[in-house]
Amino acid sequence: MEVEVTSVKAAPSSVIVGSPVTCTWNYTGAAATGNLSLVDETTKAATVISSAINLTSLSYSYQTTTPGDFWFSLSDGTSNSLSNVFHVLTPAQASASSTGAPSPSDTSSPNGGSPGSSAKKSAASAKSSFTVSNKLLIGLIMIVTVMMFFA
């Protein structure tokens, strides 16, 4: 009997502490249990959420308790599948991100994700931050240059 867990995903990609994150996966095989863990992206420390999760349920809702960046690790006994990274924010971080401050945007998978996905997202975030602060800086430089020319 072949058992296989594939395509583990966490949604949404950013939540406030205390909010749920849903882990979903695809599964083929007979009824079986697996091991679902939460992995801290910074420390790589794993916390077992359930050592006997029903794999045929295809999802699990996890109540967040700590801010940070995490991913789910789901093992069916023969292989280990990882979800995308999700961000758990404090209310202050969430408030800052809603007012236009930078927020976490890398939801690539810790085991590689789609090719170039994090590089594309980094480039996109660099472009968006350039549009505001660097335009102001360039404008000030141009004004000083013109003033020096006519002085």
Query: Phi and psi for 9 in degrees, rounded to 5?
Result: -135, 150
Query: Phi and psi for 54 in degrees, rounded to 5?
Result: -75, 110
Q: Is the pLDDT of residue 30 over 60?
A: yes
Paired strand residues for 71: 39
Paired strand residues for 10: 23
Predicted local distance difference test score (pLDDT) of residue 133 = 56
Tell me which H or E stretch contains 43: none
Q: Which of the four pLDDT bands, split at 50, 70 and 90, describes residue 31?
A: confident
Q: Using DSSP, state whether 125 is helix, strand or coil.
A: helix
For 43-77, what is each residue's pLDDT tens digit?
Answer: 999 999 999 999 999 999 999 999 999 999 999 88
- The full set of domain ranges for the chain reads 4-104, 114-151
Question: Which of 49-53, 89-93, 117-121, 137-141 has the weakest average pLDDT?
Answer: 117-121
C-alpha to C-alpha distance for 64 and 14, rounded to whole angstroms: 11
CATH ID of 4-104, from 2.40.50.140, 1.50.10.10, 2.60.40.10, 3.40.50.720: 2.60.40.10
More confident residue, 48 or 7: 48
* pTM over 0.75, yes/no: no
Percent of the chain with pLDDT strictly greater than 70: 66
